[in-house]
Amino acid sequence: MVEETKVTTDDLIFPLFLVDGHNQKIEVSSMPGIYRLSTDMMLKEIEGCLKVGIRAFDIFPAVEDQHKDATATKSYDPKFFYLKALREIKKQFPEACIMTDVAMDPYSSDGHDGLVRDGKILNDETLEILGKMTLAQAETGIDIIGPSDMMDGRVGYLRKVLDENGFTEVSIMSYTAKYASGFYNPFRDALDSAPKFGDKKTYQMNPANRTEALIEAQLDLEEGADFLMVKPALAYLDIIRLLKDNFNLPIAAYNVSGEYSMVKAAAQKGWLDGERVMKESLLSIKRAGADVILTYFAKEFALNLNR
């Protein structure tokens, strides 16, 4: 009766990895229970999730090297498998909330989120590419775009691109406080998208910084973001609370790949009770102030509830 916090399936977004082809279901070795799925298999997965109350999905493409280039050309090619799949998913499940990823890294031969020249990431030149990518994704009928690239000014730029093209109803979940973190490695395995040189510290945030998250959030608010996201979640619960206390937009937290893998690895060794730690982790993220949680545990959590 006096319990203050409850996590429900309504709070969760399930990130999914898409691959080209048919009948593909390939486990990500560093993320037990998480698969790269071809469109047909992903449709089945989404159908299964909807039945247990998971209704929102964030879909990432795993792109073969031969399709990667310096300017992420495939990211806005309407015939590319990612965009074709999104169209198919929204056609079959219009009731599912579909979020897409806006960043160059899955399609970039440099493995960076922005355009690279002479070893530097070019902020403003990247915006143009992100704009084309956003428009191509919006045209498939998706509901939320998720700019995970961390270029300055991209929320305002993308909002304008969307509005000018009639996509006023597509929301933006901004990766507001995305830290340059060691917890993303399993995700980079899943997409085969690790940077080819250097790191992402010139565009992602310094884990030491808190006040800077307020600046990022203020800018995103002014530029038209519909959600503010903190990423990773568990090592940044203070940042989630900080944004929750200072902004009235919905706050999202991304319980990232490394946070998932740590629990899975320890549970496999019998060192932790995986289910218990999963629930405790999600509860902590919500208690810290997250309204929405992106988590690889989404389906497992839902199945666990229904058992």
What residues act catalytically? Answer: 178, 231
- Is residue 58 involved in binding ligand PBG (CB under 6 A)? no
Q: Which of 57, 82, 107, 184 binds ligand PBG (CB under 6 A)?
A: 184
Which residues in 140-179 contact ligand PBG (CB under 6 A)? 148-149
Q: Which amino acid is at 209?
A: N
* Closer to ligand PBG by Cβ: residue 111 or 289: 111
CB 68 → ligand PBG: shortest distance, Å? Answer: 14
* Closer to ligand PBG by Cβ: residue 165 or 207: 207
Nearest to 192, CA basis, from 57, 81, 26: 26
Q: Which range of residues in 99-107, 116-124, 135-143, 237-245 is near ligand PBG by CB under 6 A?
A: 99-107
Q: Which range of residues in 62-70, 182-190, 236-244, 273-281 is near ligand PBG by CB under 6 A?
A: 182-190
Per-residue CA distances from 208 to 121, 174, 205, 239, 290 (Å): 22, 20, 8, 11, 21
230 phi/psi in degrees, rounded to 5: -110, 140
In a 13 Å sphere around the CA of 263, the CA atoms on its Cβ side amount to 21
3 burial type by CB count under 10 A (0-12 exposed, 13-18 middle, 19+ buried) = exposed
Q: Which range of residues in 16-24, 80-88, 128-136, 184-192 is near ligand PBG by CB under 6 A?
A: 184-192
For helices 39-51 and 298-306, what crossing angle results, to 10°?
40
- Is residue 188 involved in binding ligand PBG (CB under 6 A)? yes
Q: Do 301 and 7 contact (CB within 8 A), yes or no?
A: yes
CB 177 → ligand PBG: shortest distance, Å? Answer: 13
Instruction: Specify the residue for token string 């030491």.
Output: 208
* Closer to ligand PBG by Cβ: residue 30 or 140: 30
CA–CA gap between residue 282 and residue 215 (Å, rounded) = 26
CB 208 → ligand PBG: shortest distance, Å? Answer: 18
CB 205 → ligand PBG: shortest distance, Å? Answer: 11
Per-residue CA distances from 56 to 1, 5, 38, 184, 213 (Å): 29, 21, 18, 21, 26
CB 228 → ligand PBG: shortest distance, Å? Answer: 16
93 phi/psi in degrees, rounded to 5: -130, 70
Q: Which of 257, 281, 284, 295 binds ligand PBG (CB under 6 A)?
A: 257
Q: Which range of residues in 38-46, 64-72, 100-108, 216-224 is near ligand PBG by CB under 6 A?
A: 100-108
CA–CA gap between residue 120 and residue 225 (Å, rounded) = 27
Which residue ranges make up the site for ligand PBG (CB under 6 A)? 101, 103, 105, 113, 148-149, 184, 187-188, 200, 256-257
